[in-house]
Amino acid sequence: MTERTERVAGVRFRNAGKIFYFDTAGIQLEPGEYVVVETVRGPEVARVVIGPGQVVVNELRMDDLQPILRMATDEDIEKADVQRRRATEILPEARRLAEEAGFRGRIDAADFTLDGRRLTFSFASEDRLDYREYVRRASKMFDTRVDMRQIGARDRAKLAGGYGICGRELCCANWLDTFPAISIRMAKEQELPLNPQKISGLCGRLLCCLSYEEEGYKEMRKTLPKLGQRCSTPTGEGRVISVNILKRQVTLIVQGQRLDVPDADLGTVVRWDPSSRTAEPPPSLGRPEPEPGDVPEPDWITTPGPIRERPAEGGRLPQRRPPQRQSPRPAADSPAQRSGRPSQGRPQPRPAQRPASERPPQRPAGERPAPLAGAQSRTFRRAPRPESAAGPEPQDSNRRPAGEPGSADEPRGRRRRRGGPRPGGSGSAPD
């Protein structure tokens, strides 16, 4: 097929017009040169845009291709210019004739072939019209064969030309050879205002440039949550209320507050499930999933607050210990306790003393309190040790005999202390 495409060349009859393929018939051609080709209407001058060997279409049928007649000379190019000016001059007369014949279509363009034997009128109309009467009158007036070609609103703007709202020449009149399919859905996905005056071209149809960035918007939208998507954040579950595709900024509603998340924090703060808009959001990034065997965290850790610790390297928050309760400090210490330890910090105020009339009476030192009326005093004595049938209890070598100082039979008041003499005494028992 490569050898066969060496004989194929692509030409155009108009600027930004459709490309037609012809057989070179052995002529060496270069892009930009003019040739004379045979069409269904007759011979015409065309410009080569695809040279031999540059055709990549592998579905061409070589049997259906018409051959190129010859290279266009200067006379052919001048003659084509004369026919083009002649068609422009008869255009007002053709429109006046359409009004007289009752033809409701608007005549937008007229074209002569290179030999001038055929004239083609292009008209725009939304409905199918009967132009037979008009063709008979036009053929008689212009003394040539007349053909009619119906075009749409976009073709009409392409023939007329002009400048769009961007300030540049119309794409269809400059380089666009085919019209892409445009829908209002493209304008909605690109978040454009649905005002017909802002998203429509000179032809009254939707702008063709809406299709240029459609694929780019689709690719960027795949990496962003959908409108109304349920998401997870470190502070709780949220819902998407706005998406700015160009800035890659997402606006959430989290616990009744509006939160704008930029692109830098989007992948580390917000998580969502792209499979479904109503699916459950994934776990939050700031609250890891508990593993089997982990101790559940207290409620005060999971409560959202203004300050939270960052997760550790393993993705888990460090375990915290609940604060230990401190025992209440006594209201006041005794004088002995206060004198036994140094004062720290600010001196504590002394408790207020009650008046002397409210204080209990004081008793002399060494005097025991009197028993209450009606109470019986009890004396606690050690029970005698029973003797065994084998004989008397063996004497302990460390036990002192009765009557000696320090024995068990000695009164408690006269027993000597083993730790040494009392402070201030001579070491003997008191009298």
Other Cβ atoms within 10 Å of 398 Cβ, number: 5
Give CA–CA dist 273/74, Å, rounded: 68
pLDDT at 365: 59
Cα(186)–Cα(214) distance, integer angstroms? 7
How much is the pLDDT for 7?
Answer: 85
SS3 of residue 146 by DSSP: strand
Query: At a CB cut-off of 8 Å and minimum separation 6, what does 66 contact?
Result: 22, 23, 37, 38, 39
Best CA proximity match to 5, nearest among 48, 68, 67, 58:
58
pLDDT over 70, % of the chain? 61
Largest CA distance in the chain: 169
The segments of the chain whose pLDDT lies below 70 read: 1-4, 57-63, 274-280, 282-431
DSSP 388: B
Q: Hey, what CATH topology would domain 81-151 get?
A: GMP Synthetase; Chain A, domain 3 (3.30.300)
Residue type, 41: R
Residue 125 and residue 105 in contact, taking contact as beta carbons nearer than 8 Å: yes
Q: In the chain, where does the domain assigned CATH 3.30.300 lie?
A: 81-151
Q: CATH 2.40.10.170 region(s) of the chain? A: 224-272
What is the pLDDT, as a whole number, of residue 351? 56
- Cβ atoms of 225 and 240 closer than 8 Å: yes
Helix (H) or strand (E) holding 203: none
Which CATH number does 224-272 carry? 2.40.10.170
Nearest to 161 by CA among 151, 146, 171: 171
